[in-house]
Amino acid sequence: MGLRAKFNLAIIAALLVGYFGAGVLLHRLFVANARQAVLQNAKVMMSAANAVQNYTDQQIVPLAGLEQDGKFIAASVPFYAAKTTFKSVHAAFPDYVLAEVALNPTNKEDQPTDWQADFINDFRNNPTLTQLAGVRTTPTGPSLNLAQPIAVDNASCLACHSTPAIAPASMISEYGPNNGFGWHLHEIVGAQIVSVPLALPLAQANQAFITFMTILGAMFIVVLIILNLLLHYIVIKPVVTMSGIANAVSLGRSDVEEYEKPGHDEVASLSVSFNRMRRSLDAALRMIETQ
């Protein structure tokens, strides 16, 4: 195996190890960045929903109350206001979902699905948790879910959710006396869950990864070509030339021209030493012939 082949095998092996190692690390980085961006979007959505709830609780409820003329005003309920406001966002972006569910909701529409109930139970089993995130597969692709607990932190909530006896009559008339009661102060009763699609950010991350790896692969090929050219002109060509001269001299030819490589590198120094050795050999042979 020639010097060029050995050199290329070593360089290609090193480049392949670096290429695939970089690929694994970069893919993880691109995917992690995509998930982080989606998670940030989910947090913004959740903050917006909480802002609507706080506004409703602080501004609307004191003015309108929970009932008027014997009718229950659902719009004065902070959770209802946030979900209703979000419906316009959901209409424009169907894969973006805001859910505020409870294990024992007043409105049956707020009954959790199995995976939503898992979030609620995790919060109930670990009261110190403030947020949970997870990825779920949907018909339109993976979706990132961000959840935070819904707890009865305000005693005023118990006016509607402790017992049917003290709940507003209009609410009982609207939703019945069987659901949404038995709540206790500081109890975690549900969860606010925001779902944001991951498919597009992951596809963009994969496309960016493929583009980057293509560029990196092209750079490796260019580097390999440049190294081969340098190897040829700096090492292989001078060595092959000196090898041919040495072979000719060993066969007794004295008319072969000397070769001295320009420069000050090791191969140039070798060519100078080789020429000096050849001249010394020629001189020694002439001395022997004259004796």
The share of the chain scoring above pLDDT 70, in percent, equals: 88
Q: Which two tokens stand for residue 20?
A: 């695939």
Q: Which residue has the higher pLDDT, 71 or 37?
A: 37
Name the pLDDT band for 65 (thresholds 50, 70, 90).
Answer: low
Q: Which amino acid is at 145?
A: N
Tell whether domain 3-10+207-290 is in CATH 3.40.50.
Answer: no
Sequence ranges of the domains in the chain: 3-10+207-290, 42-201
Q: Which two tokens stand for residue 93?
A: 């972006």
β-pair type (141-151, 132-138): antiparallel
Q: Which residue has the higher pLDDT, 186 or 261?
A: 186
Average pLDDT over residues 252-257: 67
User: What is residue 1's predicted lDDT score, i.e. its pLDDT?
Assistant: 67
**What's the CATH number for 42-201?**
3.30.450
Distance of alpha carbon 217 from alpha carbon 25, whole angstroms = 15
pTM, to two decimals = 0.70
pLDDT digits (tens, 9 = 90+) for 177-191: 888 888 888 889 999
The DSSP-derived string for 113-142 is: -HHHHHHHHHHHH-TT---EEEEEEETTEE
Residue 234 class from Cβ within 10 Å (0-12 exposed, 13-18 middle, 19+ buried)?
middle
Residue 143 class from Cβ within 10 Å (0-12 exposed, 13-18 middle, 19+ buried)?
buried
User: What is residue 66's predicted lDDT score, i.e. its pLDDT?
Assistant: 67
User: What is residue 247's predicted lDDT score, i.e. its pLDDT?
Assistant: 77
User: What is residue 119's predicted lDDT score, i.e. its pLDDT?
Assistant: 93
Name the pLDDT band for 69 (thresholds 50, 70, 90).
Answer: low
Contact in structure between 30 and 208 (CB atoms under 8 Å) = yes
User: What is residue 237's predicted lDDT score, i.e. its pLDDT?
Assistant: 79
